Structure formats: structure tokens, C-alpha cells
Amino acid sequence: MSEQFKMVSFSRGEGRTADLSLFSEEQAAKVQRFHASFPVYKPTPLADLTQTAKALGLGAAYVKDESYRFGLNAFKVLGGSFAIGSYLAGRLGMDISELPYDKMVSEEVRAKLGEVTFVTATDGNHGRGVAWTAHQLRQHAVVYMPKGSAAERLANIQAEGADASITDLNYDDAVRLANSQAEEKGWVMVQDTAWEGYEDIPAWIMQGYGTMGYEAHQQLPEKPTHIFLQAGVGSMAGAITGFFSSLYGADRPIITIVEPNKADCLYRTAEADDGALHFVTGEMNTIMAGLACGEPCSIGWRILRANADHFISCPDYVAAKGMRILGNPMPGDQRVISGESGAATFGCVAEIMTNPELAGMKAELGLDENSRVLFFSTEGDTDRENYRAVVWDGRYPSGK
């Protein structure tokens, strides 16, 4: 096995359990109805890459293309919008089902709420979603970004009316900064990283991601045998794992979590499996900026520990490989514009299927010509300069 690839696996039936009630099909349908109340809502497409799957030695490859989500080029707005909506509904003593978009922006409701400031830390996509939602609902947002964040992503957040800035901190320290400012100034923290005493909003964010899984389930022509999910803190991975595990129970697809090896906190936590969360510290300067998180989400981890089958730590070049293949699939297949974090899982699987050094991992994952694999391309070209450098100029070639 290539030394840059590492995998740890859990066996089913070892008594690992987690409460999946927040991620049931009924709950996901409720979340989807809230999102559908926004005028810009449309389900994002599910690309069927039949010919590309065949070329890789797979039976089928389905890619949920979140570059179309709300015109924001990424899925993250699903979580931020549902969390903000749920928080505002709670302030009014209402359930989110009673407060669709048109009612939330009504003069009557706005007069009761006043202006609320929401604060978050982000590498780009989550912050843009929070800023967009705050703008749509006539509220205010403050966004802190970690060192090395792309200027384009900062500009996109500022264009939504947020007070946004790039700090000299890594992601996890930027989260701590946002939290301290929330406590000091009475702002509302909207973060998908959960910790003791801060789990309601992260849980709402995770539920918000359920719309993506719910739509995919409605669009799939057949049940997948495998689902590959990329992870930063593990909130999206936990949410989608929770949804499909609740949906299928013991017959759920084989679920694999993929992380960059420079920020593989979930892999390390799974490897230790000692009841503690294991952190990655330092700059974590991976190409997969949206996954450069060193501290797992406690809620996400509980679901993943009970329901995920494999955890893979992989090198940066697999994300670049995924970007290139999705942007240039086999003839007849739909093109998917996928950013560094969005393409991580597809690139990982493509490398495993075609690299003889990874034959053992391929066998352990059960990937072959009968496998029907579901992927989530969670972002488009949110950093267009780097996207072109990878796809046009060959930055991060395989094995480098």
C-alpha cells in the first residue's frame, strides 16, 4: 500500500450504536421543506457517470453536484440556513415548520426579532452560506477566516454584506476567536464544530445537510453499495451517514470517510478508538482547504463511530486527480466542476481503482465492477485560480 494512504476499518455488529432520530427520513423531509420555501431553491443535479465508472472498473458512479446550490457554488448554505432559521424560530417560540422563508422576512416577524448578529469561522463556503442567509433574512453576519484563505472566497463573503476578514490563525483557533467574540458581544455563534455546552446549533447545521442526502435518495435510480464522504470536522459526513443509516438500517451501504493526511483528525480518532477525540494541530496546509480541520465534531463522531465502515487518510494529489476526472469525464458523461474538497472522494476512489499498490485497500473496501458508488461533490470552483492551476496546468500531479 502506498505510504501516503492509510485506512482503518470498523467491523459491523460490534455493539456500536448512535441515536439517529435527528437524521430520519421524516426529519430530512422537514428540513427539505424549509429549504424549498426559499425562492431560489432547486434540487441540485445527480450526475450519472456511467462511462467513467466503467473505465475505472466500477459498476456505477453517481455524483451529487452541489455547485448549483442556491447560486453559491457549494452545499454549506444548507446547514447555516437551517441553523439560523431554527434559532430564530426558537426565539419566537415557534417550530421551524411554522416559519418558512416568506413568513421569516415579513415585517411582523422582523419587528419581533430585531437585528441579530451571527458569527462564524470558515475557510469560505460555510461563511458564505451564513452571510447569504443573514442577508436574505435581513440580519447581520461577522465571519473570521483562517490564515491562507483564498481572497476570492473572502470577496464572495463580503459581497453578501458580512463583516469578513482573514486572520493569522489556523481554522480551529479562528473558531475559538469567533466564539470569544460571540460571548463578549452577545452574538450568535453558527459553527458546525460541536463541544460540551455547544451542540444545539451544530446539530441544526448537520440536520440542514440532510437536504442533500434526501434529494440524492429521491434521485438515485438504485440503492448504492458504497458511499464515500469527505470530512473536515465530520459534520457533513456524520449527517449523510446518519441519514442513510437511518434509512437502510443494517442493510446500509458501505460508508467510507475520506480526509487529507495533513488534517486527518477522524482517521486518528478511529485508529485510537479509545473513547477520546484526537486532534491535529499546526497549519494543516492541504489543498483541500474545506477539510483542513483538526478537531472532530463530537456529534458527527458519535454517528460515524457507530455507522461508518472505513476511514481513509489520503494525499493531496488525489483531490487534484478527482478535479481533473470530474471536469473531463469519459464521453457521454456529464461534466462536474468540482473544487479541491468536493473532488476528494472521487479522486481517492479513482486512485484506489487504478493504482496496483492499493489493490489490498480496493479489496478490503469491496470495490469492483458490481459496485454502485455515491459521491457528493460539495463545492464547485470556489477558488477559480487554483482550480485552473490544477486542471489546466497540472498542479499536484499524481504521486507528487
Catalytic residue among 76, 262, 321, 362: 76
Question: What integer pLDDT is reported at residue 399 of this predicted model?
Answer: 66
88-132 pLDDT, tens digit per residue, is: 999 999 999 999 999 999 999 999 999 999 999 998 999 999 999
Following DSSP, what letter does each residue of 282-306 receive, concatenated? S----S-GGG---S--HHHHHHHHH
Q: What proportion of the chain, given as a percentage, has pLDDT over 90?
A: 95
The predicted model gives 166-181 an average pLDDT of: 95
CA–CA separation, 241 vs 110, rounded Å?
Answer: 36
Closest among 324, 302, 334 to 391, alpha carbons compared: 324
- 30 is annotated as an active-site residue: no
* Residues forming a β-bridge with 145: 166
Question: What integer pLDDT is reported at residue 252 of this predicted model?
Answer: 98
Question: What integer pLDDT is reported at residue 1 of this predicted model?
Answer: 47
Closest among 167, 82, 162, 85 to 123, alpha carbons compared: 167
Average pLDDT, the chain: 96
Question: What integer pLDDT is reported at residue 3 of this predicted model?
Answer: 59
- 76 is annotated as an active-site residue: yes
Other Cβ atoms closer than 10 A to 199: 14
Catalytic residue among 65, 123, 333, 381: 123
* Contact indicator for 166, 185 with CB cutoff of 8 Å: no
In which band, very low, low, confident or very high, does the pLDDT at 2 lie, cut at 50, 70 and 90?
low
Contact residues for 331 (Cβ-Cβ < 8 A; gap 6+): 51
Closest among 54, 52, 75, 122 to 322, alpha carbons compared: 52
11-36 pLDDT, tens digit per residue, is: 997 889 999 999 999 999 999 999 99
pTM: 0.96
262-301 pLDDT, tens digit per residue, is: 999 999 999 999 999 999 999 899 999 999 999 999 999 9
Q: Are strands 6-9 and 310-314 parallel, antiparallel or unpaired?
A: antiparallel
Q: Using only the alpha carbons of the chain, give its radius of gyration.
A: 20
Question: What integer pLDDT is reported at residue 37 of this predicted model?
Answer: 98
Phi, psi of 217 (to 5 degrees): -60, -40
